[in-house]
Amino acid sequence: LPADFQAALPVLEKIEQAGFEAYFVGGSVRDHILGLAIHDVDIATSAYPEEIKEIFKRTVDTGIQHGTVTVLMGDDSYEITTFRTESGYQDYRRPDKVTFVRSLADDLKRRDFTINALAVDKNGEVIDKFDGLKDLDQKIIRAVGHAEERFHEDALRMMRAVRFQAQLNFKIEEKTAQAIADNAPLLAKIAIERIREEFVKMMLSQNWQTGLADFVKLGLSEYCPGFKDQKLELAELLEVKDTEFVDEEAAFSAIGYVLSLNHQEFNEFLRDWKVSNKTREASLNTLNLLHLFESQDFDLWNIYKLGVDNLDRTLELSKMFQIEFDYTDLSQKVDQISIKSSHDLQLTGKNVCEILDVKPGPIIGKSMSQMERAVVEGNVSNNFDDLRHYLLSNQ
Ligand code: ATP
Ligand code: MG
């Protein structure tokens, strides 16, 4: 057993001593068998949530209606989920009914892919009801049971398939792929936040192009915001040199670039994907910077306004799209910029009031941004006396 499982072993043992079954399940089992780093260790058990809470002193009801209780042990915490089956799925997204069961086999049956339907017991024995080990070995993503039905139950699984494909560099098995192609329109039923989570995980994976290729080919892209009838444009991303995206903002900016979105269109696109305001602003600025690079427009004030923080990401993207520009010229200019924001100015708004002998008002802001621009463009150095002089001589 790997160290992460070893550390969690007392949890399994305690549950078993109380007369129930408990196993390691899900992504940690898959990643352990693949020799990858494990993040959160998930445990599945025949004990009901109330029974788990009787066994352990320190617990948190993380998702008790779905059967999940978090157990705290020392500095570690473990999510323990009761074996369950799901039924209903009237709306292609969530089960109408979750039923707790006592059988591991029933629990494994409801899981999405064979490689995610493995369990490991306290002795390290692997329980493999659906040939998940063989699929792991052959690098195949295959739905558990009847693919068509499984995607009808929960259409998000189609996004998970291309996400795992990108993360693991696996192939989607033929029937599973066909079922995705046939049921792609069901993706429209899924909340964009959940689609985005899988999409971003896919784009930030090492083999994102493999996932993206099937995301487009199998028609999932058609049912995502801004991607309708954009297969050819998206396919441009499959042509670029295979480099990784440094962050979510880089991935979205690259998409804005190949879709040739202007500022307003890109803003709407990002709103439709419901990204955070922070991500939206950084992505918008990154795409703007990329367009400046492309037009060799290295106006210092423009670059500064778009955020020096976005430069590294933009440089990565310009390499990806082989945008040619005078790098030395740009970096020399950027090095000249001596402040990050107006907060770095050595003269404050309060100083402005005193020097000009005025009351706080719009003039303060105006003077501050005047000085900010002058410092950025190198027309005055950022020290109190020079700024004071500049302020007085520019009234
Ligand atoms: P990650 O490494 O990203 O955490 P994971 O496989 O652990 O990958 P989770 O979303 O954490 O993915 O889910 C844990 C397990 O729960 C999965 O391995 C799978 O067995 C099951 N699962 C998760 N989402 C679904 C779903 N939509 N349909 C069926 N089973 C699912
Ligand atoms: Mg997980």
Distance from Cα 28 to the centre of ligand 1, integer Å: 10
Mean pLDDT of 273-287: 98
Q: What is the pTM of this model?
A: 0.91
Beta-bridge partner residues of 266: none
Say what percent of the chain tops pLDDT 90.
85
Atom of ligand 1 nearest to the CA of 156: 27
Q: Give the separation between CA 395 and CA 379, rounded to whole angstroms.
A: 16
The alpha carbon dihedral of 131, 137, 138, 139 has a sign of positive
Res 94: pLDDT: 66
The pLDDT-based confidence of 96 (bands split at 50, 70, 90) is low
Q: What is the DSSP string of 160-182?
A: HHHHHHHHHT-EE-HHHHHHHHH
Does the pLDDT of residue 88 top 90, yes or no?
Answer: no
The pLDDT-based confidence of 366 (bands split at 50, 70, 90) is very high
Res 149: pLDDT: 96
ipTM over 0.90 threshold: yes
175-184 residue pLDDT tens = 999 999 999 9
Does the pLDDT of residue 357 top 90, yes or no?
Answer: yes
Mean pLDDT of 357-384: 94
The pLDDT-based confidence of 152 (bands split at 50, 70, 90) is very high
Choose which residue among 36, 110, 111 to substitute to test ligand 1 binding: the one with the highest number of ligand atoms within 8 A of its C-beta: 111
211-222 residue pLDDT tens = 999 999 999 999
Ligand 1, atom 16, residue with closest C-alpha = 26
- Cβ-count burial 340-369 (b if 16+ within 10 Å, e if not): eebeebbbeeebbbebeeeeeeeebeebbe
Name the DSSP class of 84.
E
Ligand 1, atom 9, residue with closest C-alpha = 27
The alpha carbon dihedral of 127, 44, 48, 145 has a sign of negative
Ligand 1, atom 26, residue with closest C-alpha = 112
Q: Give the separation between CA 328 and CA 342, rounded to whole angstroms.
A: 26
**Long-range contacts from 264-273, C-beta under 8 angstroms, 24+ separation:** 269/225, 269/226, 272/192, 272/225, 272/226, 273/192, 273/196, 273/225, 273/226
The pLDDT-based confidence of 95 (bands split at 50, 70, 90) is low
Say what percent of the chain tops pLDDT 70.
97
Contact 289, 306 (CB under 8 A): yes
Does the pLDDT of residue 381 top 70, yes or no?
Answer: yes
Contact 298, 292 (CB under 8 A): yes
Ligand 1, atom 11, residue with closest C-alpha = 27
The pLDDT-based confidence of 263 (bands split at 50, 70, 90) is very high
Show the DSSP H helices in the chain as ranges: 3-17, 27-33, 49-55, 104-109, 132-138, 147-153, 156-168, 174-183, 192-203, 208-217, 231-239, 248-258, 263-272, 277-294, 300-306, 311-320, 327-336, 349-356, 362-376, 384-393
Distance from Cα 170 to the centre of ligand 1, integer Å: 16
Beta-bridge partner residues of 76: 73
Q: Which of 92-106, 119-133, 182-196, 201-215 has the lowest mean pLDDT?
A: 92-106
Atom of ligand 1 nearest to the CA of 157: 27
**Distance of CA 248 to CAs 130, 157, 207, Å?**
34, 21, 15
Res 74: pLDDT: 87
Does the pLDDT of residue 93 top 70, yes or no?
Answer: no
Q: Which two tokens stand for residue 344?
A: 């770095």
Q: Give the separation between CA 212 and CA 337, rounded to whole angstroms.
A: 38
Distance from Cα 158 to the centre of ligand 1, integer Å: 13
What is the number of the ligand closest to the CA of 201? 1
Q: Give the separation between CA 390 and CA 371, rounded to whole angstroms.
A: 8
Does the pLDDT of residue 265 top 80, yes or no?
Answer: yes
What is the number of the ligand closest to the CA of 168? 1
Ligand 1, atom 6, residue with closest C-alpha = 27
Contact 45, 15 (CB under 8 A): yes
322-353 residue pLDDT tens = 999 888 888 888 888 989 888 999 999 999 99
Q: Give every CB contact of residue 104 below 8 A, 6+ residues apart in sequence.
A: 21, 23, 44, 46, 83, 119, 127
Q: Give the separation between CA 126 and CA 34, rounded to whole angstroms.
A: 13
Ligand 1, atom 21, residue with closest C-alpha = 111
Length of the chain: 395
Res 108: pLDDT: 97
Ligand 1, atom 2, residue with closest C-alpha = 27
The pLDDT-based confidence of 89 (bands split at 50, 70, 90) is low
In the block, tokens 């690079």 appear at: 293
Average pLDDT along the chain: 94
Does the pLDDT of residue 203 top 90, yes or no?
Answer: yes
CA 366 to chain centre: 39
Q: Which two tokens stand for residue 293?
A: 């690079």
What residues are in contact with ligand 1 under a 6 Å CB criterion?
26-27, 42, 111-112, 116-117, 154, 156-157
284-313 residue pLDDT tens = 999 999 999 999 888 899 999 998 889 999
Distance from Cα 226 to the centre of ligand 1, integer Å: 27
- Cβ-count burial 232-256 (b if 16+ within 10 Å, e if not): ebbebbeeeeeeebebbbbbbbbbb
Contact 2, 35 (CB under 8 A): no
103-134 residue pLDDT tens = 999 999 999 999 999 999 999 999 999 999 99
